[in-house]
Each structure stands twice: as structure tokens, then as C-alpha cells.
Amino acid sequence: MANHKSTLRRIRSDKPKALNNKYYHKTMRNALRDVRAEDDKAAALAAAPKLVAQIDKLAKRGTIHKNKAANLKSKLAKKIASL
């Protein structure tokens, strides 16, 4: 167990942050799954900007790495172009 006050505070404050990160990451993954499963190009194109914004926000916050965000957006664009 931690002995320093600041470490105990850090442990307490990290729990809700981790929960928030988990929630937003899972939400992004679900949206990504839905867009990838889309067969209609128009619907996929309509949903893409919102998803890209979600990915960018997660990368900016540090929830996901910026290179992972770039890879996800690249694969998404490739998938939509192939429809």
C-alpha cells in the first residue's frame, strides 16, 4: 500500500479517469465497428466525420496513441473508398 499522501490522492483520482477513458475508448470502438459493417457508401460517408472527430479527441487526450489514431483513420478511409 502507498504511504505518501500524494500517492493516495493519485490513486483515488486515477480511478474515475480510467473509467472515463474506458468509456470513451469503447464508444469509439463500437462506432468504428458500426461504420466498418456498413454496406451503404453514403451512410458510411455520413458517419465518418463524427467518428474521425471521436478518434482525434481520444488521441488529443492521450487515451489512444496519435499513431494508432492515424492508422484507424487511414483504414477507415480505405474501407469507405472500397465500398
pLDDT digits (tens, 9 = 90+) for 2-44: 789 999 999 999 999 999 999 999 999 999 999 999 999 999 9
pLDDT score, position 8: 92
Going from N- to C-terminal start, the domains of the chain cover 16-82
Mean pLDDT value of segment 34-61: 97
Of 28, 13, 35, 14, which is closest to residue 60 (Cα–Cα)?
Answer: 28
pLDDT score, position 2: 78
CB of 48 within 8 A of CB of 74? no
pLDDT score, position 38: 94
The answer on pLDDT for 1 being more than 80 is no
Mean pLDDT value of segment 49-62: 98
- CATH topology for the 16-82 domain: Methane Monooxygenase Hydroxylase; Chain G, domain 1 (1.20.58)
pLDDT score, position 62: 96
